[in-house]
Structure 1
Amino acid sequence: MNYIFDDQKKTVVPTTIVTNEETLKSLTHPLRARILTELVHESMYPLQLSRKIGIHEQNIYYHIRALERAGLIKKDKTEAKAGTIAQYYTATKTAYSFIPNFVKSTSTDIKFQEYQQVPEILKSFIKDGNINCKIIVGAPYPHGELNRVEKCGHLAGDIAATLGKYGSTLEKLTYLDTEIDDLRTNLIIVSGLYVNTAQKTVNENLPIRFNESGTKILSDFSKEEYSEPEIGFIVRVKNPIDKRFNIIVLAGIEMQGTMAAVYAFTRYFSRIESGNMFDKSAVAKVIQAIENKGQVVDVRFLE
């Protein structure tokens, strides 16, 4: 995929490089350009286009075939219309750029993340193309009040990869809970109550949280208590240690629940940002893993 970068507006548009004459002719042909514009807005069949544009249907067919050969439109659905099958077409919905052979490309150091729109949930965690937070996972050896061992530390890699779509950093990003004492920054805290001591520090300040023993998830929104091992939660709130910062908690009672929370976080930003079903202003979700042979393959949003 190629891209057009606007360095002033910090925007990026995907584009297809035009290399053949037929595509270029189709883009500059007035009637084909009109057909292409109509198909950008909705898929249509030739007779429908003929009526809308006011051109004979056979003429429309001729130009549709040319647009299809040029790769500017493609076949979409089919429907039964008046005893026949109508073939719908849709535009490929991309920008097109023509670069003559005599123009040579030059190498430049482009920080692609600066052009990516940062999801609302990650704002403050990503700033000016830089990752501005710390990921905290439990230590993989006995520690904490109950000498628990973390088994989900590898999930930090999935979180880091997701953050890397929108920013970068030269600083250390992932920490064990035994490595960090100062929590006064933006934090992404992963795992359960007694395997991540940072989670235990902030737990009472969360609208969805663990009970004191860490065996149930309690929701202030639904007043429900969840104890199934495949259930986890996602919460984004102000950092209770220092309100200038924010925290995201991805946690579950057991490993499956934590995996479900991380799975949802790395795939469903818009669903998470839509808020809790009982309070749309709260970025707080209860998640249930859908598993296949021990692997999380999708999730259900319970609230």
Structure 2
Amino acid sequence: MQIIDGPRQVTCAELLPSQMRAMTSPLATRILRLLAARPNGMYPAAIAKELREEQQKIYYHCRRMVKERILIVDHVEDARGGIARSLALRAGAFAVRCSEYTPAARTLLVRPDHAAFLAPFVHDGELHATIVVGSPDPHGPQGARSRDVHYAVDLGLFLGSFLTTPAPQSVVLDTELREWNRNLIVVGGVVVNKAAERINTRSPIFYDTHARTFRGADGTVFDGETDGIIVKMPNPFARGKWILHIAGKHAAGTRAAMLALLTHFDDICGEAPKGRIVPRSVIVRGIDADSDGIVDTVRILNKA
């Protein structure tokens, strides 16, 4: 059990009221404070010398607190034909429970900038979004097959680190998406994901299917084969709902975008006014640093 105070914590052991009596005397309290400062334990004789008290008194209180499981025997050594027991605190704090246990609600400490970027998709430890991935079967005008589906696993693990409540089934194929009146997290580009194709003309980062380039909000063109985008935008088909689009020119670009989200999250989040949900658009370029044919690092090209 832990007692948590903001970023600080201490181990805690539960005691019965009858056990607590062993630690209420002034001398017992002094022994506990001394042992708290000596996590490796102390022998009763050393405790007596440190506190300048008679050994008999120290042994009495130590025996009581060992019996009540407030102190534990840390280790044992032979000493002058006898046995010397080093004592240590069982925990850094002790508590008495006055009521029965109830189901626990996990609490996460999420940085304000992280929470602002994830809102409204994640709120109060719950997922409030549907993840849309491209179908691996041939579909669309070009009969494309998505090779981005497995990136939804990386995304799910990432989002799960911000959740305290298990999410219901939250992933659909683009060919199965019927309801747009919700928050959506779209994975994959316009060729392999019909949802991405539908929002493309409304997105601050437009993908030109003829030139095969991304065009930023300021008109800058990005034509790298491993370019990817992360766009957070209002859902143009549902008032009050939002879309997070993670995609690339090809599968390698989607990998780069997902890698950027996982490894450069602080940079992706940027700053957001407190209590407000704001759009975000980022263009990244994947780099094969070790020349094995797989994107393994990313560089952020543009943020808005």
**Is the 8 Å Cα contact of residues 3 and 10 (structure 2) preserved in structure 1?**
no
Q: 1:233 aligns with which of 218, 229, 235?
A: 229
For 1:76, the equivalent position in structure 2 comes to none
Find the aligned partners of 1:299 and 1:107 in 2 and give their Cα distance: 47
Q: Residues 103, 196 of structure 1: CA spacing in aligned structure 2 closer, same or farther, 3 A cutoff?
A: same
Q: 1:220 aligns with which of 217, 221, 232?
A: 217
Larger radius of gyration: 2
For 2:145, the equivalent position in structure 1 comes to 149
Q: CA deviation at 1:23?
A: 7.1
Q: Residues 113, 206 of structure 1: CA spacing in aligned structure 2 closer, same or farther, 3 A cutoff?
A: farther
1:81-117 Cα distance to aligned partner (Å, 9 max, x none): xxxxxxxxxxxxxxxx8135x979x976434355545
Runs of 4+ more than 2 Å apart: 2-6, 12-27, 106-119, 266-270, 294-298
**Is the 8 Å Cα contact of residues 190 and 250 (structure 1) preserved in structure 2?**
yes
**Where in structure 2 are the equivalents of 1:1-303 lying within 5 Å?**
4-5=3-4, 13-17=7-11, 24-25=36-37, 98-100=92-94, 109-113=103-107, 115-117=109-111, 119-167=115-163, 168-213=165-210, 215-221=212-218, 223-274=219-270, 282-291=279-288, 292=290, 293-303=292-302
What runs of 5+ residues in structure 2 fail to find an aligned partner? 14-31, 40-90, 272-277
Q: CA deviation at 1:193?
A: 0.8
**Is the 8 Å Cα contact of residues 209 and 217 (structure 1) preserved in structure 2?**
yes
Q: CA deviation at 1:127?
A: 2.1
Q: Counterpart amino acid of 2:287? A: I
1:179-225 Cα distance to aligned partner (Å, 9 max, x none): 1121221111111111000000101111112014372111122x221
Q: Residues 193, 110 of structure 1: CA spacing in aligned structure 2 closer, same or farther, 3 A cutoff?
A: same
Comparing 293-302 and 234-243, the one that deviates more = 293-302
What runs of 5+ residues in structure 1 fail to find an aligned partner? 7-11, 28-96, 276-280
Q: Residues 98, 156 of structure 1: CA spacing in aligned structure 2 closer, same or farther, 3 A cutoff?
A: same
For 1:37, the equivalent position in structure 2 comes to none
Find the aligned partners of 1:240 and 1:214 in 2 and give their Cα distance: 25
Query: What is the TM-score with the length of structure 1 in the denominator?
Result: 0.64
